[in-house]
Amino acid sequence: MLEQILLHHKQFSLKLREEPLKIRLEYLSDLEKMVMDHTEDIVQALRLDFAKPEAEALLTEIYPVLHEIRYVKKNLKKWIKPQRVSAPLGLMGTKNYILPVPRGVCLIIGPWNYPFQLMIAPLIAALAAGNCAFLKPSEFTPHTSALLKVLIKKTFSEDHVTVIEGGVEMTQNLLELPFDHIFFTGSTQVGKVVMAAASKHLSSITLELGGKSPTVIDSTADLEQAAEKITWAKFVNAGQTCVAPDYLLIHKDVFSEFRSHLIKKIETFYGKSDHQKKNSPDLARIISVKHTERLAQLLKEAVKQNAEITYGGDIDIPHRYVAPTLIEKVDMHSALMKEEIFGPLLPMIPFHEISEVLHFINDRPKPLALYIYSHSEMNIEALTKGTASGGVCINDSVIHVGNVHLPFGGIGESGLGNYHGYFGFRAFSHEKSVLRQYWLGRLLRVIYPPYTAFKINLIKKLIRWHL
């Protein structure tokens, strides 16, 4: 059955290649209308899936996709134009250009943490570039996934965009098929499975993965502001954000002062007592009981290895609640410091010198994001240039993802390729090289056999004269 759908998509994708800009823009407008008309339903589905607060649903799931669609619609005419390039002297008289063409039929696999945005944002890029798409949402957000299926079916023809629901087994079945491009958002571990599967058909891939994003607070930072920004970035979506600050590296001289600011901000945002925090409408739940158990286990093991909980620590597994929690004296070999935390647990580690921080980060897998809170140009430059990460955000956290002019993606274990804005259009396009020959091309006959001494001499001159 999947093969049959793919066959229809392949046929439809050939038609798409010939469609003018106007039609592509209409597809994007249809998608925009779908989101606008059903914003309430989407917010409701996200609430049912994991009590995502309405403000967070609007800000992190609805707004980014509408912003992206509108930006892409404004710029697509420019992006799809063939881009003229010059020719070397040896190819004098030829016309050369780069033609962005659709990849064909794309498979978009999504995670559960931003289950709407992370299906629709890649779809925008896929449609803008003229592709057909299979969407495979996460099985952990059944309400959002079911709604997505209904809305997409209403908006697009079946052979253009199709939602396939299901779990791991279904994803594995999809990965058996010869897609032209696979766009995967999820964990590093499953990213490796996707890459191996893509190699069977040599499908091109984009991997948007996760990891542990370090956050550095040096002694020159504005501590109160840093605390406010980090509190939001860490606890939005209950810490279940791929670019959430995973752990803090804090200069020893400001450590305790920064801790006080952090606690103050947590209490301003979510309430002072355990009861207030647990009942705060502004704190999302953990996606499932299983995921809550994993976080409880991470914390328990860390404490067993002598870590200290200096704030929070309240966990209610059946209600999938984990309190904003600060942890100190963590063992660097504990799972808490090895696995991506992906929840509201925040380890805090003191440092003496910025060189220690550089070593610490460079000793570990390349993260998706690095956050630097500092007013020292030297420290900012040392960290920005001296480490590798998908992106860097200075004196703020997470918000760099919201700039459509910046590519969003990881490096090494945090991902391969990138998207958003023009970069998304490129991810879903093949850049076809086109060379058109004219009458001057007859001169090229000098390079054809028989290779006389005169011709060899001519080639040697070409090399010697840097032509």
Nearer to ligand NAD among residue 117 and residue 204 (C-beta): 117
- Least spacing, CB of residue 409 vs ligand NAD, in Å: 7
Cβ neighbours of residue 13 closer than 8 Å, sequence gap 6 or more = 102, 104, 105, 131, 132, 180
In this chain, which of 167, 252, 268, 289 binds ligand NAD, going by CB under 6 A? 167
Q: Are 126 and 183 within 8 A, CB to CB?
A: yes
- Pick the piece of the chain touching ligand NAD (CB under 6 A) from 93-101, 104-112, 212-220, 316-324: 104-112
Residue 380 in the binding site for ligand NAD (CB under 6 A):
no
- Least spacing, CB of residue 208 vs ligand NAD, in Å: 4
- Pick the piece of the chain touching ligand NAD (CB under 6 A) from 71-79, 202-210, 343-351, 370-378: 202-210
- Pick the piece of the chain touching ligand NAD (CB under 6 A) from 6-14, 24-32, 168-176, 312-320: 168-176
Residue 434 in the binding site for ligand NAD (CB under 6 A):
no
Determine whether 132 is an active site residue.
no
Exposed / middle / buried, residue 231 (Cβ in 10 Å: 0-12, 13-18, 19+): buried
Which two structure tokens, joined as six digits, stand for 97? 């250009």
- Least spacing, CB of residue 259 vs ligand NAD, in Å: 26
Distance CA 422, CA 353 (A): 39
Q: Is the peptide bond before 344 cis (omega within 30 degrees of 0)?
A: no
Q: Are 107 and 134 within 8 A, CB to CB?
A: yes
In this chain, which of 28, 42, 57, 118 binds ligand NAD, going by CB under 6 A? 118
Which two structure tokens, joined as six digits, stand for 121? 């944002």
| Given the residues 132, 242, 340, 393, the one annotated as active site | 242
Residue 112 in the binding site for ligand NAD (CB under 6 A):
yes
Nearer to ligand NAD among residue 61 and residue 340 (C-beta): 340
Nearer to ligand NAD among residue 137 and residue 312 (C-beta): 137
> Based on C-alpha coordinates, what's the Rg of the chain?
26
Nearer to ligand NAD among residue 100 and residue 239 (C-beta): 239
Nearer to ligand NAD among residue 75 and residue 288 (C-beta): 288
Listing DSSP states for 195-255 in one string gives: HHHHHHHT-EEEEE----EEEEE-TTS-HHHHHHHHHHHHHGGGG--TTSEEEEEEEGGGH
Question: Between residue 319 and residue 348, which ones bind ligand NAD under the rule CB under 6 A?
Answer: 340, 342
Annotated catalytic residues are: 208, 242
Binding site for ligand NAD (CB under 6 A): 109-114, 118, 136, 138-139, 167-168, 171-172, 185-187, 190, 193, 208-210, 242, 340, 342, 368, 410, 415
